[in-house]
Structure 1
Amino acid sequence: MFDLTDVRYVKRLVVGSTDPEKMMSEAVLQRQQALLNRCLAETPRGRIIGLEKTFSLLNIGEHQVVLQAMIYHIGFERRPYWLPEEDEA
């Protein structure tokens, strides 16, 4: 049984684009999704304890650009050794 009092480490993972100046490629999106799946599947197994949804509609000249991102807060009982450091993610 999962209990929030057991959470000792929280990782914030962004999946999607949040900056109109730096649009993400499909490869970057796939890496973000792969890290999320690894956090939820491997040992120590993380649990989603929070979720942020962002949506922005920007007008750049004549074009409209939609930026969407899901930000997952993954809670762990301990920090996984395989999880990249904050400045690497």
Structure 2
Amino acid sequence: MSMDRFRLTEMRFIKRIVVGNDNPQNIRTEAEVQEAMDLVNRCLSGTPRGFILNVEKCFGLYNIGEHQVVLQYAVYHLGFARKPLHLD
């Protein structure tokens, strides 16, 4: 893949990574959220270098028992020219 220009047609592998809490039944810990963000950073800075194709930003308002909970998360869609070995 040429380094001077990003080409969507060269993307052969797409990785979807959720950062945050997307399921009120399974709340992720702060360490799990940080681990997901570290994976995004590794994909963007490692070899082969990934490119952000899309970011979904979502939130939900849930009633759990007597409590009202707001869950926020972002979903990163990262494209690669080939599948990185660290994602196996």
Q: Return the TM-score normalized by structure 2.
A: 0.90
- State the Cα deviation string for residues 27-65 of structure 1 (Å, max 9, x = none): 101100100000100010000001211110012232111
Q: How many residues align?
A: 84
Does 2:78 match 1:74? yes
Q: Which amino acid aligns with 2:24?
A: P
Unaligned stretches of 5+ residues in structure 1: 85-89
Name the counterpart of 1:59. Answer: 63
Name the counterpart of 1:25. Answer: 29
Q: Which amino acid aligns with 1:79?
A: K
Report the 3-state secondary structure (helix = DSSP H, G, I; strand = E; otherwise coil) of the residue aligned with 2:32. Answer: helix
Name the counterpart of 2:12. Answer: 8
Task: Give me the CA root mean square deviation.
Answer: 0.9
Unaligned stretches of 5+ residues in structure 2: none
Q: Return the TM-score normalized by structure 1.
A: 0.89
Task: State percent identity of aligned pairs.
Answer: 52
